[in-house]
């Protein structure tokens, strides 16, 4: 389901002027920010009156909604020139800081990168980024008969011929932009189906490629393809198609043996629902999930009988969801449907099953309850094991259970009664991301583990033997006693060096000797404890003096990304604190609901409480705290800036959702109706009042000193319109303190969409721009030197 979110974390830093707050914004030993390079652009005003629920208000920047207006293009180009001049003036002597930061970040990236090969059927599938290239290549080789170690040696030596399946770089060179959405290999390994966006508007096209001939055998006439699923015999491909508001609402099936167009399998007419489609792991069934943010209705069909009709699993019920897999004649269902004898499921998921027969779909057996320690999040299934994704005290866990499950279903069992094996992980702070794990017959489960102090670690877990093997860790060049130099590599640098480790390695290492990373609980406005992760260099951090940046998101139940990012070393080496606030609105179902609709104020006040904690406890100087928010996270940060303009000394808002009130009132825009469950329905007077009470665009305070803010936007963004950033910046410059507002800048990518351009080197350049802005905003001169860590 589409959401107003960004797939990568973004940094928020702002710079202050001597006018702001009536007191200095940085300690006197640091130089003041360089003079502003030139006056900022001034947007035209066009009279416009908006109204709702008996009230009216003026919105002179409403004209920016027309992206075809040449005045908007001219304004954005002028804003880009101003932003470049503003940031390029940062650094000793006026300039160079942005370039130095970008060079540091690029130097930490290895010339090329590769993922360990993952077996599936007769093939080894893997991705690699060629030397000097921006994007990955998806390839495969035939498997060897000598096991994983032999296969890895063949992979290194190239003794098995490589087949390139998809090269992102070729597409980018041809069209100037590339975004691959879904990518699915057929069960017989003959075909590759993938969705492609070449403009950034996320109107994905569908291509099906014959791998052997490399010919494209099908291109869908439709745009707006989202999810894909193969039939068991690989002759039929199912795909979802969006309506004009980018809501996936149809399921089509294309018979690859026929010249006829795809035929309609399912259509969802309810405008509040999106349709998703998947194959079960064994490819015996296709599941169709018609869902809102909080409820779902699931149908299944036998993938070998595509015209045999759909079986309903359960009818839709408010705040009830279902996720289904198949194993040995049973459907295993992860659900929060109310249990017999209880009033509601209270958002808690449990595992149930029923026979995979149309007449038996309503006869459920409860397989396992989570118990008092865990919450169930997701599942995966194999020939001999069931994998469960869990949370315990808000932290992620993962375990496997042997199949078939042989228990007495007359008594309800808890997870611990099923002899689960909990996968060992390096620390509680690890993010856990599954690999492709396509092979239903495998007993090995691959995970990528990461944390703020752990470069991405690829681990295979043998669920049958209950052992694990470390395969690979992300290479980090330039990691030595001086983080701005290039030299020392991380402890595990490549696949070949790990061949000896595959069988006997049972240990891991991180960078905790260099960096402190701790998780604390911050008491918010209503007494609720909010998790805050704090990262800093043990050597470079200066208690009570260091600058810092606080990340936040708090929407759609999404976890804040706290995985390893080598770009952060440029901040940590200079003594910065990097912190992550897991505010309400993200996380599991109960934490999510506590930050939605009328409860959205909890997200905002949680973030403010975390920022205050960093200052109060001496992690960050009171005039050096910055904030970062992406997409819906930009709404969070923008609302806090309105509420407490003195809290942050700078901020970066990436593709931010700032004009929420006006956007949510326009049901013709993509995502608007779907977002009623997240933010509220403005057609209801009370919910309109709630949204307007925190809307960043509608609550700017006249003549108040606002911190410096870098706002980024993308012209082709269909999730958050480019006008939201442009309107907010123009209004800040118009009504707030003029001296301060000159430090509010707008940078727009005129070619890309919500997710930017995505190449690894381009990402370094974007981050360097943000960091240079923040350092200028705080009046910090880099002096072309680094702290020793």
**How far is residue 82's CA from residue 730's CA, in Å, rounded to a whole number?**
13
Q: Higher model confidence: residue 502 or residue 243?
A: 243
DSSP character string of 3-34: -S--SS---------TTGGGS-SS-TTSPPPP
What is the torsion angle, in degrees rounded to the nearest 10, for the CA atoms of residue 408, residue 414, residue 418 and residue 420? 170
Is the bond into 308 cis (omega within 30 degrees of 0)? no
The domains of the chain are located at: 49-107+513-666+706-778, 114-170, 177-316
Percent of the chain clearing pLDDT 70 (strictly above): 86
- Annotate 474-505 with DSSP letters as a single string: ---TT-SSBTTS--PPPS---TGGGTTHHHH-
State both tokens at 465: 């033997």
pLDDT tens digits for range 348-388: 899 999 999 988 888 888 999 998 889 999 999 999 999 99
Number of H helices, E strands in the chain: 15, 39
Contact 371, 416 (CB under 8 A): yes
The predicted structure's pLDDT at residue 20? 29
- State pLDDT tens for residues 71-82: 999 999 999 999
Residue that is written with structure tokens 């291109």 in the block: 219
The strand order across the sheet containing 216-219 reads 179-185, 191-197, 205-210, 216-219
Distance CA 16, CA 776 (A): 9
Interacting residues of 563 by C-beta distance below 8 A, sequence separation 6+: 431, 433, 450, 451, 452, 456
pLDDT for 151: 58
Phi-psi region of 695 (alpha: psi -120 to 50; beta: other; left: phi over 0): beta
Res 221: pLDDT: 87
Q: For residue 530, is pLDDT > 50?
A: yes
Quick one: pLDDT band at residue 160, thresholds 50, 70, 90?
A: low
Same fold, 49-107+513-666+706-778 and 177-316: no
Residue 765 pLDDT: 93
Give mean pLDDT, residues 517-527: 97
Residue 403, judged by CB atoms within 10 A of its CB (0-12, 13-18, 19+), counts as middle
Report pLDDT for 204.
94
- Look at 140-154, 474-488, 668-682, 709-723 and tell me which has the smallest mean pLDDT: 474-488
Q: Given pLDDT bands bounded at 50, 70 and 90, which one contains residue 759?
A: confident
What homologous superfamily does CATH list for 49-107+513-666+706-778? Alpha/Beta hydrolase fold, catalytic domain (3.40.50.1820)
> What pLDDT, on the 0 to 100 scale, is given for residue 506?
54
Structure confidence at residue 639 as a pLDDT band (50, 70, 90): very high
Cβ burial 252-273 (10 Å sphere, 16+ → b, else e): bbbbbeeeeebeebbebeeeeb
Residue 11, pLDDT above cutoff 60: no
Can you read off the two tokens belonging to residue 18? 């001597």
* Closest by Cα among 686, 687, 714, 456 to 563: 456
Q: Would the pLDDT of 504 be above 70? A: no
pLDDT at 147: 58
529 pLDDT tier (thresholds 50, 70, 90): very high
At residue 405, the pLDDT reads: 86
What was the pLDDT predicted at 128?
94
Q: What pLDDT digit, counting tens, does each position of 204-224 carry?
A: 999 999 999 999 999 988 899
The SS3 call for residue 399 is: strand
Alpha helix stretches (DSSP H) within 390-545: 501-504
Residue 94: Cβ within 10 Å count: 12
pLDDT in tens, 145-155: 765 556 555 65
Residue 19 predicted with pLDDT over 60: no
CA–CA gap between residue 501 and residue 339 (Å, rounded) = 47
Percent of the chain past pLDDT 90, that is, above it, reads 70
115-124, 339-348, 608-617, 703-712, range with the lowest pLDDT: 339-348
Give CA–CA dist 659/661, Å, rounded: 6
* pLDDT (0 to 100) of residue 29: 34
Which of 442, 447, 437, 440 is CA-nearest to residue 470?
Answer: 447
Any residues with CB less than 8 A from the CB of 111 and at least 6 apart, and which? Answer: 131, 132
**Is residue 324 predicted with pLDDT exceeding 80?**
yes
Q: Kindly report the CATH class assigned to 177-316.
A: mainly beta
**pTM higher than the cut 0.85:** yes
Category of 310 on φ-ψ map: left (φ > 0), alpha (ψ -120 to 50) or beta? beta
pLDDT digit string (tens) for 557-591? 999 999 999 999 999 999 999 999 999 999 888 89
In 333-391, where does DSSP find H-type helix? Answer: none
Helix, strand or coil, per DSSP, at residue 67: coil
Tens-place pLDDT, residues 61-116: 999 999 999 999 999 999 999 999 999 887 765 558 999 999 999 999 988 888 99
* pLDDT score at 17: 26
Chain centre distance of CA 764 = 18
Query: What pLDDT does residue 413 have?
Result: 86
Output the average pLDDT for the chain. 87
Could you list the beta-strand ranges (E) of 495-586. Answer: 515-523, 529-537, 548-552, 577-581
With bands split at pLDDT 50, 70 and 90, how would you rate the model's confidence at 475? confident
Residue 619 has pLDDT above 90, yes or no: yes
Q: Residue 340 class from Cβ within 10 Å (0-12 exposed, 13-18 middle, 19+ buried)?
A: exposed
**pLDDT tens-digit map of 433-453:** 999 999 999 999 999 999 999
């Amino acid at each position: 389901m589409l959401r107003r979110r960004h797939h990568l974390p973004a940094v928020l830093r702002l710079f202050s002027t001597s006018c702001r707050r009536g007191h200095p914004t940085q300690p006197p030993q640091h130089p003041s920010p360089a003079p502003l390079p030139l006056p900022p652009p001034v947007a035209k005003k066009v009279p416009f009156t908006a109204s709702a629920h008996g009230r009216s208000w003026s919105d002179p920047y409403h004209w920016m909604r027309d992206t075809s207006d040449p005045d908007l293009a001219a304004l954005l180009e002028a804003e880009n020139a101003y932003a470049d001049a503003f940031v390029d003036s940062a650094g000793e002597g006026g300039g160079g800081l942005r370039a130095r930061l970008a060079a540091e970040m690029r130097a930490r990236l290895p010339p090329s990168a590769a993922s360990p090969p993952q077996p599936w059927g007769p093939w080894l599938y893997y991705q690699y980024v060629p030397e000097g290239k921006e994007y990955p290549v998806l390839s495969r080789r035939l498997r060897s008969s000598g096991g994983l170690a032999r296969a890895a040696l063949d992979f290194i030596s190239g003794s098995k011929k490589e087949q390139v399946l998809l090269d992102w770089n070729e597409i980018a060179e041809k069209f100037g932009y590339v975004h691959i959405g879904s990518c699915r290999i057929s069960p017989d390994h003959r075909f590759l189906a993938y969705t492609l966006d070449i403009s950034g508007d996320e109107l994905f096209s569908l291509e099906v490629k014959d791998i052997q001939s490399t010919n494209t055998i099908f291109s869908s006439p439709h745009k707006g393809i989202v999810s894909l699923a193969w039939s068991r015999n690989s002759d039929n491909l199912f795909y979802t198609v969006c309506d004009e508001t980018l809501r996936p609402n149809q399921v089509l099936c294309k018979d690859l043996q026929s010249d006829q167009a795809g035929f309609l399998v399912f259509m969802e007419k309810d405008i509040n629902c999106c349709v998703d489609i998947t194959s079960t792991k064994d490819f015996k069934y296709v599941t169709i999930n018609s869902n809102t943010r909080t409820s779902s209705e699931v149908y299944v069909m036998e993938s070998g009988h595509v015209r045999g009709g759909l079986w309903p699993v359960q009818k839709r019920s408010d705040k009830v969801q279902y996720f289904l897999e198949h194993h040995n004649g049973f459907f295993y269902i992860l659900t929060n449907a109310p249990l017999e004898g209880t009033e509601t499921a209270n958002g808690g998921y449990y595992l149930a099953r029923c026979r995979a027969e149309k007449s038996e779909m309503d006869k459920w057996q409860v397989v396992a309850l989570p118990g008092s320690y865990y919450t169930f999040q997701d599942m995966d299934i194999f020939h001999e094991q069931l994998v469960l994704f869990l949370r315990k005290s808000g932290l992620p866990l993962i375990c496997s259970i042997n199949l078939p499950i042989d228990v007495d279903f007359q008594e309800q069992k808890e997870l611990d009664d099923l002899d689960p094996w909990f996968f060992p992980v390096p620390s509680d702070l690890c993010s856990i991301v599954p690999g492709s794990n396509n092979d239903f017959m495998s007993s090995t489960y691959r995970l990528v583990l990461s944390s703020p102090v752990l470069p991405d670690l690829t681990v295979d877990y043998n669920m049958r033997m209950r052992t694990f093997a470390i395969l690979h860790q992300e290479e980090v060049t330039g990691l030595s006693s001086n983080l701005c130099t290039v030299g020392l590599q991380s402890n595990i640098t490549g696949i070949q060096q790990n061949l000896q480790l595959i069988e006997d390695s049972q240990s891991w290492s991180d960078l905790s000797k260099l960096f402190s990373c701790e998780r604390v609980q911050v008491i918010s406005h209503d007494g609720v404890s909010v998790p805050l992760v704090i990262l800093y260099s043990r050597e470079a951090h200066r208690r009570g003096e260091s600058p810092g940046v606080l990340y936040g998101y708090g929407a759609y139940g999404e976890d804040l990304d706290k995985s390893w990012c080598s770009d952060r070393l440029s901040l940590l080496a200079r003594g910065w604190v990097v912190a992550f606030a897991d505010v309400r609105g993200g996380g599991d179902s109960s934490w999510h609901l506590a930050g939605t609709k009328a409860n959205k104020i909890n997200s905002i006040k949680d973030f403010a409480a975390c920022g205050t904690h960093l200052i109060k406890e001496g992690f960050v100087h009171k005039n050096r705290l910055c904030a970062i928010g992406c997409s819906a996270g930009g709404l969070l940060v923008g609302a806090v800036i309105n509420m407490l303009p003195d809290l942050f000394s700078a901020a970066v808002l990436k593709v931010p959702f700032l004009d929420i009130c006006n956007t949510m009132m326009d049901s013709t825009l993509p995502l608007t109706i779907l977002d009623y469950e997240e933010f509220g329905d403005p057609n209801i007077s009370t919910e309109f009042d709630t949204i307007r009470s925190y809307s960043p665009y509608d609550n700017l305070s006249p003549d108040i000193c606002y911190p410096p803010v870098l706002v980024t936007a993308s012209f082709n963004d269909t999730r958050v319109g480019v006008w939201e950033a442009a309107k907010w910046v123009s209004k800040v410059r118009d009504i707030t303190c003029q001296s301060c507002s000159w430090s509010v800048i707008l940078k727009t990518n005129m070619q890309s969409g919500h997710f930017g351009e995505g190449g690894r080197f381009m990402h370094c350049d974007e981050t360097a721009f943000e960091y240079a802005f923040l350092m200028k905003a705080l009046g910090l001169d880099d002096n072309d030197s680094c702290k020793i860590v």
